[in-house]
Amino acid sequence: MDRKFAVAALLAMTLATAWPARAVDKAEALLKDRDGKEVGKVELTDTPTGVLMRLTLDGVPPGDHAFHVHAVGKCEPPDFKSAGPHFNPDETKHGLMNAEGPHAGDMPNLHVPDSGKLTVEMLDEMVTLDAEPALLDQDGSALVIHTGADDYQTDPAGNAGDRIACGVVTE
């Protein structure tokens, strides 16, 4: 019996080293509005210091909008509440300017020009794609744009208003 166990353990170790787990270093999210129309795309790249997000928008209303990572990889219209609360594995308070924060999913506001088109890059130093805290965890995550600006202080969501666009982060 011991010999069979030893052979099985050796085989398992050999397979584990022969085919190591693949690290995810790229992901994307297609942002859709409440009507299901695509209004943007986010390309995510894992870096040694966080996740770099390249956001390209076309069709988002002009003005200042909160942009957050939400805890669940679901974007069911019309209200996108299925995306859950902000991604917050450390259970901190909301806000980039909150002494007890921020959430890992708190991001700077977007400033969309009158054209509705915007391309911007930002780095979220508090997340990764597939290591802790992972955006591609068991229930996934979503990127959400809100109707108004984030005040960077008010818990739990910065008084940012309704959710107007949502995209699930996928490999």
In this prediction the pTM is 0.85
Q: Which domain holds residue 112?
A: 23-168
- Catalogue the E-assigned strands of the chain: 26-33, 38-47, 50-58, 63-65, 67-70, 110-112, 117-124, 142-146, 163-168
Report the C-alpha gap between 6 and 8 in whole angstroms.
5
Query: Would you state the pLDDT for residue 68?
Result: 95
**Residue 31 in contact with residue 145, Cβ under 8 Å?**
yes
Number of domains forming the structure of the chain: 1
Q: What percent of the chain has pLDDT over 90?
A: 66
* Residue 72 is assigned to a structural domain of this protein: yes
Tell me the CATH number at 100. Answer: 2.60.40.200
For 1-24, write each residue's pLDDT tens digit: 455 444 444 434 444 444 344 477
* Residue 75 is assigned to a structural domain of this protein: yes
For 19-39, write each residue's pLDDT tens digit: 344 477 999 999 999 999 999
* Residue 77 is assigned to a structural domain of this protein: yes
